[in-house]
């Protein structure tokens, strides 16, 4: 055989030979084996635990280090003495069995490499202190979801110098001995006592744990934080007290807890806060008081917290916020969702120069002061949805140059608050608002608008008028406008050039429109079918502008009214408003006039959501099909000025180019004439000289060289 072929065969044999840590067939028959670079990972769940341990013990030399051994549902009710003797296991998972008792020497004889022991979801009734005392290398111990009752002195944790994480959650622990963690106080960093029945903070058990960084005591029966509950915990940075029954926090509850950063007091019964409530926490970054019974944030309650970044106060009953309640704080996120605030006052956000997000959703806010957000210049997001706001004062958001989003959904806003908005705002959400009054302007485009009339507008004080539609082509011939059914959701994409399509452009009165007098708005319908309304979202960005509409069914009684309005409304006239040179307004109408319906129109329903105005759009290009002649003399001048300037510029350029061309032609003609003249002159001189020389030669007058 060729030596090269022998080498290939040899390498192939080496590739398919089992490695030193591969699992033997007897192990593969009971376990799923994963060969790692530094050992094996075994999952022997749903197999007989005793048999599995015996097979592993017989193949220990081939297996080497077992990085992880998992035995779920292995019919283990009792761990006998030296159950895992001789095995090298780094992570042992015996959860989801029915273990009731663990022998005091069950883990004796194991190689000292065990770092994690998981005994959760079993039936243990006490901490197996004697059994785990031999695991000197243990780092994490999980005893959650057992039936462990009160911890007595004999059940305290043994000396485990490397143990840093203990999980006792979801047991039946209602009381703990003061020495429970005494033997691990120099190493323990995380303790989980959540979902038990503790009636008070186990202060004597945790006091003086100088390495403790996180303490979870959520979902217990703690009713108060008493004096010295948290004493001498110098590195504690997370405290979870959520889901208890805490109604009172003593001023002296925290003493020498300088590093606390995250405090969870969610879903308790706290009803009152006091000034400087958390002033002792110099490093606090997040406080969560969601779901309590707080009615007031007193003055300077959250003041002087230089590291506070997140404050959650949602789900309370807050009606008032005291002056300078958040003074000199560095809060970035403030949540006041689902409270009972009725206004956003001028001084509510004073001292919050770093605030970027404020959530006021789900309150009873009716009024927003013009200067409410003036002292929060860094705001990026404001959520005022699900309130009772009817209007916003001008300049309300003009100081927020970094503002990206304002959510005003589900309010009572009747007109788009253009004057309150900063033109740098990225998105404004206005759906689910009764926008029935927009000062006769449906879409604003640099001062030009589309006017849509409606039935009587009770909010804006308008009067009911006969609905007429004004449409024009480019040749000024009136044509019927194409209508859209409100059942069908639409999408309009408006490019930065301002070009967009408009459907349902309406103008109602046959008299001169008075400046500032509002018109009513209604949707244009095409056929009799089950109606719906469009909650719309106004989104503005620096690129494309999009209007998203969704279709939502109306209630049955509104459907009937809506249908009646369609059946009784006919449109046979097409009046067109024109403007003469003197600025006077006149109306041109066709022969027939439409009659207003005497029955209830669908727009009388205040719950109907009508099309929303679209802010911040640029001037559109004229439509080839239908355009509305609603321009006044000023708007006509504004719209024609750019066209006139462009035409004038193009004319000037053309004249200049023609002049330059003519000049070039003249210069070239002169150059050619000059060249021709010179050539002729040169030709004449040569000819004369030649003739003279010939005549001299004939008559003997030419000089001859003599030698």
Residue 13's φ and ψ, nearest 5 degrees, are -65, -40
pLDDT > 70? residue 456? no
218-222, 250-254, 412-416, 502-506: the lowest-pLDDT one: 502-506
Most confident of 159-173, 337-351, 499-513, 638-652: 159-173
More confident position, 539 or 141: 141
Q: What pLDDT is recorded for position 567?
A: 41
Q: How many angstroms separate the CA atoms of 632 and 645, rounded?
A: 20
Element (H, E) at 661: helix 633-699
pLDDT, tens digit, 9 for 90 and up, residues 520-547: 433 333 343 444 433 434 433 333 333 3
Residue 416 has a pLDDT of 83
- DSSP labels for 301-321? TT-S-TT--EEE--SS---EE
- Are 209 and 237 in contact by the 8 Å Cβ rule? The answer is no
Using the predicted structure, report yes or no on whether residue 556 has a pLDDT greater than 90: no
Q: Which residue has the higher pLDDT, 262 or 300?
A: 262
* Per-residue model confidence (pLDDT) at position 384: 97
Residue 686 banded pLDDT, cuts 50, 70, 90? low
Are the C-beta atoms of 539 and 545 separated by less than 8 Å? yes
Q: Are 486 and 523 in contact (CB under 8 A)?
A: yes
Q: Is the pLDDT of residue 347 over 90?
A: no
Q: Could you tell me what percent of the chain has a pLDDT over 70? A: 64
Q: What is the pLDDT of residue 670?
A: 87
* Helix residue spans in 59-194 (DSSP H): 60-63, 129-132
pLDDT at 351: 85
Question: What is the predicted pLDDT for the residue at 678?
Answer: 63
| C-alpha to C-alpha distances, 437 to 160, 453, 502, 562, 604, nearest whole angstrom | 73, 10, 19, 19, 13
Q: What are the tokens at 332?
A: 């970035």
**Averaged pLDDT of the chain:** 75
Query: How far apart are the C-alpha atoms of 145 and 119, rounded to whole Å?
Result: 9
Q: How confident is the model at residue 288 (pLDDT cuts 50, 70, 90)?
A: very high
- Other C-beta atoms lying within 10 Å of the C-beta of residue 398: 18
Q: What is the pLDDT of residue 563?
A: 38
As a whole number of angstroms, the distance between CA 406 and CA 380 comes to 9
Percent of the chain's residues with pLDDT above 90: 50
Average pLDDT over residues 244-249: 96
pLDDT (mean) for 568-592: 41
Nearest to 408 by CA among 378, 428, 380: 428
Highest mean pLDDT among 35-44, 462-471, 628-637 belongs to 35-44
Domain 270-429 has CATH 3.80.10.10: yes
Confidence of residue 190 (pLDDT cuts 50, 70, 90): very high
In this predicted structure, the answer to whether residue 170 has a pLDDT above a threshold of 90 is yes
What's 600's DSSP letter?
Answer: P
The helix (run of H) or strand (run of E) holding residue 655 is helix 633-699
Residue 421 is predicted with a pLDDT of 81
Task: Say if residue 131's pLDDT is above 50.
Answer: yes
Instruction: Average the pLDDT over 228-244 and give the result.
Output: 96
Residue spans per domain, the chain: 270-429, 439-579+600-638
User: Is the pLDDT higher at 267 or at 605?
Assistant: 267
Lowest mean pLDDT among 143-152, 356-365, 512-521: 512-521
| Contact assessment for residue 148 and residue 177, using Cβ atoms and an 8 Å cutoff | no
CA pair distance 202, 515, nearest whole angstrom: 73
Residues 6+ apart with CB under 8 A from 346: 369, 370, 371, 372, 374
pLDDT in tens, 602-661: 444 444 443 444 343 334 344 344 434 444 444 555 555 788 889 999 999 999 999 999
Give me 703's structure tokens: 């000089």
Reading the block at residue 184, the tokens are 């691990």
pLDDT in tens, 387-444: 999 999 888 988 888 999 999 999 999 888 888 887 788 899 999 999 875 544 444 4
pLDDT at 523: 37
Pick the residue with more confidence: 675 or 171? 171
pLDDT mean over 313-324: 94
The predicted pLDDT at position 98 comes to 93
pLDDT at residue number 610: 39
Residue 22, Cβ neighbours under 10 Å: how many? 14
With 90 as the cut, is the pLDDT of residue 341 above it? yes
Give the E-state strand segments of 161-307 in sequence order.
Answer: 165-167, 190-192, 214-216, 224-225, 230-231, 238-240, 248-249, 254-255, 262-264, 286-288, 296-297
Measured in degrees and rounded to the nearest 5, phi and psi for residue 118 equal: -115, 115
Pairwise CA distance, residues 44 & 306, whole Å: 53
- Specify whether the CB–CB gap between 356 and 333 falls below 8 A: yes
Average pLDDT over residues 450-463: 41
| Whether 191 contacts 212, CB under 8 Å | yes
- pLDDT at res. 637: 52
- The per-residue pLDDT for 596 is 41
pLDDT at 565: 41
| 495 pLDDT tier (thresholds 50, 70, 90) | very low
């Amino acid at each position: 055989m060729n030596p090269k072929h022998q080498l290939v065969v040899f390498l192939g044999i080496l590739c398919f030979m089992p490695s030193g840590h591969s699992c033997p067939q007897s192990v593969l028959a009971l376990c799923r084996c994963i060969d790692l670079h530094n050992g094996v990972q075994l999952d022997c769940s749903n197999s007989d635990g005793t048999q599995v341990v015996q097979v592993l013990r017989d193949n220990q030399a081939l297996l080497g280090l077992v990085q992880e051994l998992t035995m779920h549902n292995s019919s283990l009710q009792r761990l006998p003495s030296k159950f895992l003797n001789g095995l090298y296991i780094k992570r042992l998972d015996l959860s989801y069995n029915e273990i009731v008792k663990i022998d005091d020497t069950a883990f004796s004889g194991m190689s000292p490499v065990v770092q994690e022991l998981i005994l959760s979801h079993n039936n243990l009734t006490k901490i197996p202190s004697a059994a785990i005392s031999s695991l000197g290398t243990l780092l994490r111990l999980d005893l959650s979801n057992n039936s462990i009752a009160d911890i007595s002195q004999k059940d305290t944790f043994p000396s485990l110098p490397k143990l840093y994480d203990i999980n006792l959650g979801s047991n039946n622990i209602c009381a703990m001995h003061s020495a429970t963690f005494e033997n691990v106080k120099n190493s323990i960093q995380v303790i989980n006592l959540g979902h038990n029945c503790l009636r008070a903070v186990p202060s004597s058990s945790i006091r003086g744990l100088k390495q403790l960084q996180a303490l979870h005591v959520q979902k217990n029966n703690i009713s108060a934080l008493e004096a010295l509950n948290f004493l001498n915990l110098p590195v504690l940075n997370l405290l979870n007290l959520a889901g208890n029954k805490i109604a009172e926090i003593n001023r002296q509850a925290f003493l020498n807890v300088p590093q606390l950063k995250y405090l969870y007091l969610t879903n308790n019964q706290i009803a009152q806060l006091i000034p400087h409530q958390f002033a002792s926490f110099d490093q606090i970054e997040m406080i969560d008081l969601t779901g309590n019974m707080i009615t007031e944030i007193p003055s300077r309650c959250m003041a002087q917290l230089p590291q506070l970044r997140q404050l959650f106060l949602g789900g309370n009953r807050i009606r008032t916020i005291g002056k300078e309640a958040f003074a000199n704080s560095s809060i970035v996120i403030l949540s006041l969702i689902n409270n009972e605030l009725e206004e956003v006052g001028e001084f509510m956000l004073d001292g919050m120069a770093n605030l970027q997000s404020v959530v006021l959703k789900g309150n009873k806010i009716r009024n927003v002061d013009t200067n409410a957000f003036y002292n929060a210049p860094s705001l990026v997001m404001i959520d005022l949805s699900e309130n009772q706001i009817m209007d916003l004062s001008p300049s309300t958001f003009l100081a927020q140059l970094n503002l990206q989003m304002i959510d005003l959904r589900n309010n009572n806003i009747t007109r788009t608050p253009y004057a309150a908005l900063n033109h740098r705002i990225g998105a404004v959400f206005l759906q689910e608002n009764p926008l029935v009054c927009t000062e006769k302007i449906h879409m604003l485009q640099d001062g030009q608008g589309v006017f849509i009339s409606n039935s009587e507008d009770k909010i804006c004080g308008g009067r009911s008028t006969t609905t007429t539609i004004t449409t024009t082509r480019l040749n000024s011939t009136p044509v019927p406008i194409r209508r859209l059914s409100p059942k069908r959701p639409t999408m309009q994409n408006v490019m930065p050039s301002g070009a967009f399509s408009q459907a349902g452009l309406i103008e109602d009165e046959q008299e001169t429109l008075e400046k500032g007098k509002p018109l009513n708005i209604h949707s244009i319908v095409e056929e009799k079918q089950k109606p719906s309304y469009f909650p719309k979202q106004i989104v503005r960005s620096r690129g494309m502008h999009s209007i998203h509409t969704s279709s939502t069914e109306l209630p049955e009684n509104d459907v009937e009214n809506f249908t009646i309005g369609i059946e009784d409304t006919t449109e046979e006239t097409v009046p067109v408003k024109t403007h003469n040179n003197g600025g006077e307004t006149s109306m041109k109408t066709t022969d027939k006039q439409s009659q207003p319906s005497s029955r209830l129109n669908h727009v009388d329903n205040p719950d109907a959501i009508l099309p929303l105005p679209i802010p911040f759009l640029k001037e559109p290009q004229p439509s080839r099909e239908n355009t509305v002649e609603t321009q006044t003399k000023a708007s006509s001048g504004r719209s024609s000025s750019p066209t006139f300037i462009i035409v004038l510029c193009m004319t000037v350029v053309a004249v200049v180019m023609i002049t330059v061309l003519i000049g070039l032609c003249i210069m070239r003609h002169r150059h050619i004439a000059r060249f021709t003249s010179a050539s002729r002159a040169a030709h004449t001189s040569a000819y004369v000289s030649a003739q003279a020389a010939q005549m001299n030669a004939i008559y003997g007058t030419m000089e001859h060289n003599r030698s």
